[in-house]
Amino acid sequence: MADHTPDHAAITALVEARHGDPFALLGPHETPEGRILRVLMPGATAVHALIGGEALPLDLVHPAGLYEGRIPQGLYTLRIDWAGVTEETEDPYSFPLLLGDLDLHLLHEGTHQDIALCLGAQPMSVNDVSGVRFAVWAPNATRVSVVGDFNSWDGRRHPMRLRQQAGVWEIFVPRLQPGAVYKYELLGPHGNLLPLKSDPFAWQVEIPPATASVVADVAAIPTPPRRDRPLLHTGEPISVYEVHAGSWARGDGNVALGWEELGDKLIPYAVEMGFTHLEFLPIMAHPFGGSWGYQPLGQFAPHAPFGPPEHFARLVARCHEAGLGVILDWVPAHFPSDPHGLAMFDGTALYEHADPKEGFHKDWNTLIYNLGRREVRNLLIGSAIHWLERYGVDGLRVDAVASMLYRDYSRNPGEWVPNIHGGRENLESISFLQELSRVIEDRCPGRLLIAEESTAFPGVTAKARDGGLGFDFKWNMGWMHDTLNYMEREPIYRRHHHGEMTFGLVYAFSEKFMLPLSHDEVVHGKGSLIGKMPGDDWQRFANLRAYLSFMWTHPGKKLLFMGGEIAQQREWDHDRSLDWHLLDDPRHSGVQRLVRDLNRLYRQIPALHALDDKPEGFQWSVIDDAANSIFAYLRLDANGGKPVLVVCNFTPIPRQGYTVGIPVAGEWKEIFNSDAAIYGGSNMGNSGSVQGMDEGSHGHPASLSLTVPPLATIVLTPAAD
């Protein structure tokens, strides 16, 4: 061999796909003998360099497909003969470094907020040549290749270049187009071949059970318009309809609807029902549909069975055009251990903790993100920004926050590792959530960040700069559990559990709360909302109507899982449509109409939402009538608007002449009654209005003598302006 020829060991490593620096050998190289071009094309029968109008043959110098030849200066392309099929393309190893120094610095720091545009598969032009730039973080791998149909899934064809300072591997594949499927082939730190890995930063993936990533047509995903007004916040009505995209409605043959068809049906329905927001169970790519999206692997890609990314972007835009906000459930706590995913990504515990006492969720058989690692935090914060900015969604509901906050979550003594101070708090997760909230506040102002957090951890909705976690709202799991426990009891026993309905007001203003009746309450043998209600059919429906009315008039934003508004009888099944045929029954359509009217009442009357998180927006009128299971309270508006009186009777016994204290005498109009005939009730009430008396009661200067229907909630407000 001539002096310029690499040594035998380097050539052997290259053709065996073990060489960690393929750019040192492949592509054009200046030598004392002139410009040498070296390409590795396993399976090719001939390779020519096309330059200056000439086709210069390259010599086969290794039977594994290594070709080499001397070429003049200038741009060149390759003509490759694949046993009679000719391909012409640029040489991937002729292109310069792709990622800039600033990108590498920010990636190393873990502060690259545009990481979705930096790593992964990015269609682009380099030196006026169109193709795809691939980049992946795998600092402990000894070789990384991108493989796909375009190179016969052969890891020898496109080994990547390591940018040492950030642990990132990169390559530009010329002439590759959106739609190409690909994975990464890696050798671990000891040279062991790992299972093919999907791209953690892919914008698109194959439909499961296929597991490859897809080069997305990034240009086809519309950029959302700029928002000039802040999004809804604590002083405005927020009523969320929680939806599982695959089972809200299904098409012929029980096939899930795509984003386009789902939008045709779901958006007008949610608008007609008066909800302010749609919240989707996680739509990020996940390998197993039975996880409902709560075990995602593609934190940047919409779930493929519903359609390409541009269709999801269009759904969000259509929601906004209709006046609906969009919230996505988002899971930064854990991920599944599928071999094509993040687990042992580069042959080491890269995204997860190495110690199972820190890194394994035995409840869910999942791996826990190592949030003490800056690059892992960067992936997750980059994902949050990706959905909020690229798709224009209005908020994220962060799943399983309680599991993130405590190192001993669902662990027995000896099964967890204390923090550096010996405590149980997960300081790294706390810091991550604070950083997440600060970044979103600075970069995506007005977007909502909502916590599913089931403990009494302090300051969940306090600003991060004040020591809190920085969420806008927290799901009030305690309210949900207490009130459902109460409602499941036969009315005769409710008197002994009166405090379950009032206890929530003891802490209702300690955080900014959202009241959730979520999917968690209608799965795993829990039945349905209507199924939890006791009594005969009439009482079950009356109980549900009274309870929903109690929820909509209670302080706190609202969330209802799909099916609750039609009183679906069976437990939710992610593989079946909701039972829309139930609406042929007036009892079910009555509950639907009730929810629609509650939403409109809630949005129209400031007293029902303006001071949701402030104690001055709420006053008890009757808190202690356990014997009759009656509750009465006032909702107040900060701007001097009309007060609203709510009276709930959770027994099947109507109460005639029931006295309730009120702030002012005069005529009070009954503006809502869950016992109205239009909802399926007995139509008992106060004939539209009742005259207040100047006789004080319950600590108020005036009072009303009311007819309170059985198992019902009524709402009244002063008639005078």
Same fold, 8-94 and 615-718: yes
Q: Which CATH number fits domain 615-718: 3.30.428.10, 3.90.1300.10, 3.40.50.300, 2.60.40.1180?
A: 2.60.40.1180
166 CB contacts (<8 Å, ≥6 apart)? Answer: 99, 103, 104, 105, 107, 108, 137, 139
For the chain, the C-alpha Rg in angstroms (whole number) is: 31
Backbone angle region of 657, left / alpha / beta, with phi > 0 → left and psi within -120 to 50 → alpha: left
Amino acid in position 337: S
Nearest-10 Cα torsion for 224, 228, 232, 236: -150
- Tell me, yes or no, if 452 is annotated catalytic: yes
Give pLDDT, residue 52. 87
Which among 607, 621, 699, 617 has a CA at the least distance from the CA of 658?
A: 621
| H helix or E strand, kind and range, residue 105 | helix 101-109
**Tokens representing residue 650 in the block:** 């959770």
Domain range annotation of the chain: 8-94, 101-220, 615-718
**Do residues 89 and 80 make contact, with C-beta atoms less than 8 angstroms apart?**
yes
**Tokens representing residue 98 in the block:** 């792709």
| H helix or E strand, kind and range, residue 588 | helix 586-604
**Do residues 461 and 471 make contact, with C-beta atoms less than 8 angstroms apart?**
yes
Q: How far apart are CA 658 and CA 704, in angstroms?
A: 8
Q: How far apart are CA 472 and CA 461, in angstroms?
A: 5
pTM for the whole thing?
A: 0.94
**Do residues 529 and 521 make contact, with C-beta atoms less than 8 angstroms apart?**
yes
Q: How many CB atoms lie within 10 A of CB 209?
A: 7
| H helix or E strand, kind and range, residue 300 | strand 298-302
Count of positions (residues) in the chain? 721
Q: How far apart are CA 267 and CA 263, in angstroms?
A: 5
Q: How far apart are CA 645 and CA 648, in angstroms?
A: 10
Which among 37, 59, 36 has a CA at the least distance from the CA of 47?
A: 59
**Which listed residue (452, 521, 565, 612) is catalytic?**
452
Give pLDDT, residue 698. 86
Q: How far apart are CA 546 and CA 533, in angstroms?
A: 11
Q: How far apart are CA 287 and CA 365, in angstroms?
A: 14
Q: How many CB atoms lie within 10 A of CB 638?
A: 13
Amino acid in position 230: P
- In this prediction, the residues of the chain whose per-residue pLDDT falls under 70 are 1-4, 226-234, 721
**DSSP 3-state of 257:** coil
**CATH superfamily, region 101-220:** Immunoglobulins (2.60.40.10)
Q: In terms of DSSP bridges, do strands 143-148 and 85-89 run parallel, antiparallel, or are they unpaired?
A: unpaired
Q: How far apart are CA 466 and CA 448, in angstroms?
A: 18
Give pLDDT, residue 1. 37
SS (H, E, C) 482-542: HHHHHHHCCHHHHHHHCHHHHCHHHHCCCCCEEEEECHHHHCCCCCCHHHHCCCCHHHHHH
**Tokens representing residue 553 in the block:** 């008039």
Amino acid in position 537: D
Give pLDDT, residue 327. 97
**Do residues 330 and 366 make contact, with C-beta atoms less than 8 angstroms apart?**
no
Q: How far apart are CA 644 and CA 630, in angstroms?
A: 17
Q: How far apart are CA 595 and CA 549, in angstroms?
A: 8
Half-sphere exposure (Cβ direction) of 161: Cα atoms closer than 13 Å:
19
Q: How far apart are CA 102 and CA 99, in angstroms?
A: 8
Where does residue 565 rank: exposed (0-12), middle (13-18), buried (19+ CB within 10 A)? buried
**Do residues 694 and 702 make contact, with C-beta atoms less than 8 angstroms apart?**
yes
**Tokens representing residue 576 in the block:** 């079946």
Nearest-10 Cα torsion for 419, 423, 426, 427: -70
**Which listed residue (68, 399, 453, 482) is catalytic?**
399
Amino acid in position 561: F
**CATH superfamily, region 8-94:** Immunoglobulins (2.60.40.10)
Which among 228, 145, 222 has a CA at the least distance from the CA of 182?
A: 145
Q: How far apart are CA 57 and CA 365, in angstroms?
A: 55
Give the residues across from 34 on adjacent strands.
31
C-alpha triplet 698, 703, 709: angle, nearest 5°: 95
**Do residues 158 and 92 make contact, with C-beta atoms less than 8 angstroms apart?**
yes
Give pLDDT, residue 241. 98
DSSP letter for each residue of 350-393: SSB-SSHHHHEETTTTEEEB-TTSHHHHHHHHHHHHIIIIIS--
Q: How far apart are CA 317 and CA 705, in angstroms?
A: 50
Q: Helices 374-385 and 101-109: crossing angle, nearest 10°?
A: 110
Which among 143, 259, 109, 123 has a CA at the least distance from the CA of 202?
A: 123
**Do residues 534 and 589 make contact, with C-beta atoms less than 8 angstroms apart?**
no
Q: What share of the chain is helix, strand, coil (3-state, %, to 5)?
A: 30, 30, 45
Where does residue 325 rank: exposed (0-12), middle (13-18), buried (19+ CB within 10 A)? buried
- Tell me, yes or no, if 68 is annotated catalytic: no
Give pLDDT, residue 721. 62
Amino acid in position 232: L
Q: How many CB atoms lie within 10 A of CB 489?
A: 16
First CA to last CA distance, the chain: 99
**DSSP 3-state of 439:** helix
Amino acid in position 325: G
Asked if the peptide bond before residue 195 counts as cis, ω within 30 degrees of 0, the response is no
Where does residue 312 rank: exposed (0-12), middle (13-18), buried (19+ CB within 10 A)? buried
**Tokens representing residue 191 in the block:** 């040279």
Q: Which contacts (CB < 8 Å, 24+ apart) does range 691-698 have? A: 691/666, 691/667, 692/662, 692/664, 692/665, 692/666, 692/667, 692/668, 692/718, 693/665, 694/665, 696/661, 697/659, 697/660, 697/661, 698/620, 698/621, 698/622, 698/632, 698/660, 698/661
Give pLDDT, residue 622. 95
